[in-house]
């Protein structure tokens, strides 16, 4: 997609391809603390090269526009759950799903833990300088055992009913499960007792309604997922050793962005070399 760099007045400005804040990049073997978010860890799992170029070399990849409709369902759900949190009463969905023994978890840090941009759950990885962070959507609590339940809100618009098994088996949802594993890992590391089942609260917009009429209707589903965080510590060790390495790793061969860049470079460079075509602008 085409992503233009803009200043605070929304005017287009020169894009350099590099981040301006030096502190947002990691220098191999640095001693100062460095934060790695859940999203960056997912990037590491998807493509080690992109993760390395971003975190260590300071490249500024093109962004994607905000998901404002999805964010709105999150925002409204947050209001509903906060109402129940303040009063320590079960949310309507708990009653509908035989989960009346749950309440939204009430903790003074809850707003910070949900702030994925600036705070989130935080955990130092072993005795390293790496601080892992993750902004969780919600945490619920078992009223008797006091165990915590990790929750992630998901919005989508698919025809038909959501089948819970298909939802979890969908290869496009692999990253969702990693997200849950990671949040559970952080909470456990922070000293909390985390219940083995987490929930995706899936809001599915109904595409077969007859009209819009200023309203979009949703079905709601609670999709239980038994998280597993056993694999995470080793992957984080692997990620740190990559960050302390001076070698740029292999790309992901399935990535369309890299394939596009390669074709772009080939086309434009060859045109310049052969002088067959005129290329405007300073490209390399």
Q: How far is the CB of 110 from ligand SF4 (least distance, A)?
A: 33
Q: Which of 36, 38, 41, 50 binds ligand SF4 (CB under 6 A)?
A: 50
User: Minimum CB separation from ligand SF4 for residue 264, in Å?
Assistant: 12
What whole-number distance in Å separates Cα of residue 260 and Cα of residue 102?
49
Q: Which long-range contacts (CB under 8 A, 24 or more apart) does 245-252 make?
A: 245/28, 246/28, 248/49, 248/52, 248/53, 248/57, 249/48, 249/49, 249/52, 250/48, 250/49, 251/47, 251/49, 251/50, 252/46, 252/47, 252/49, 252/50
Nearer to ligand SF4, 233 or 259 (CB): 259
Q: Tokens 């905000």: give the residue.
A: 66
Do 34 and 25 touch, CB atoms closer than 8 A?
no
Least distance from C-beta 129 to ligand SF4, angstroms?
25
Q: Which is nearer to ligand SF4, 122 or 255 (CB)?
A: 255
Nearer to ligand SF4, 69 or 267 (CB): 267
Nearer residue to ligand SF4 within complex by CB, 55 or 154: 55
Q: Indicate which single residue of 47, 139, 184, 239 sits in contact with ligand SF4 (rule: CB under 6 A).
A: 47
Q: 226-263 burial, b for 16+ CB within 10 Å, e for fewer? A: ebebeebeeebeebbebbeeeeeeebeeeeeeeeeeee
Q: Does 59 bind ligand SF4 (CB under 6 A)?
A: no
| Residue 279 neighbours by CB distance under 10 Å | 13
Applying the rule CB under 6 A, the residues between 244 and 283 that interact with ligand SF4 are 251-252, 255, 257-258
Residue 93 sits in the site that holds ligand SF4 (CB under 6 A): no
Binding of residue 56 to ligand SF4 (CB under 6 A):
no
Kindly state the smallest distance separating residue 255's Cβ from ligand SF4, in Å.
3
Residues in contact with ligand SF4, counted by CB under 6 A, come to a total of 8
Of the pair 59, 222, the CB lying nearest ligand SF4 is at 59
The residues binding ligand SF4 (CB under 6 A) are: 47, 49-50, 251-252, 255, 257-258
């Amino acid at each position: 997609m085409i992503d233009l760099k803009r200043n605070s007045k929304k005017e287009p400005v020169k894009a350099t391809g590099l981040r301006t804040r030096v502190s947002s990049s990691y220098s191999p073997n640095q001693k100062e603390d460095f934060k790695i978010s859940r999203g960056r860890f997912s990037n590491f799992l998807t493509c080690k090269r992109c993760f390395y170029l971003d975190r260590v070399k300071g490249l500024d990849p093109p962004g994607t526009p905000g998901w404002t409709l999805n964010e709105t369902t999150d925002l409204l759900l947050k209001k509903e759950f906060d109402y129940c949190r303040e009063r320590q009463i079960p949310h309507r969905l708990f009653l509908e799903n035989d989960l009346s023994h749950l309440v939204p978890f009430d903790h003074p840090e809850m707003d910070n833990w949900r702030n994925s941009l600036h705070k989130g759950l935080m955990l130092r990885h072993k005795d390293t300088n790496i601080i892992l962070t993750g902004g969780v959507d919600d945490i619920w609590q078992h009223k008797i055992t006091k165990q915590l339940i990790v929750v992630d809100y998901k919005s989508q618009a698919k025809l038909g009913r959501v089948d819970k098994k298909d939802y979890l088996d969908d290869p496009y949802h692999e990253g969702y499960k990693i997200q849950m594993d990671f949040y559970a890992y952080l909470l456990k590391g922070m000293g909390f007792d985390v219940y083995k089942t987490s929930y995706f609260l899936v809001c599915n917009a109904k595409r077969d309604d007859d009209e819009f009429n200023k309203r979009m209707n949703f079905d709601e589903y609670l999709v239980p997922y038994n998280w597993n965080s056993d694999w995470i510590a080793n992957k984080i060790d692997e990620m740190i050793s990559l960050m302390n390495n001076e070698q740029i790793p292999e790309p992901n061969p399935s990535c369309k962005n890299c394939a596009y860049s390669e074709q772009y470079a080939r086309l434009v460079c060859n045109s310049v070399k052969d002088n067959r075509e005129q290329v405007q602008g300073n490209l390399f």
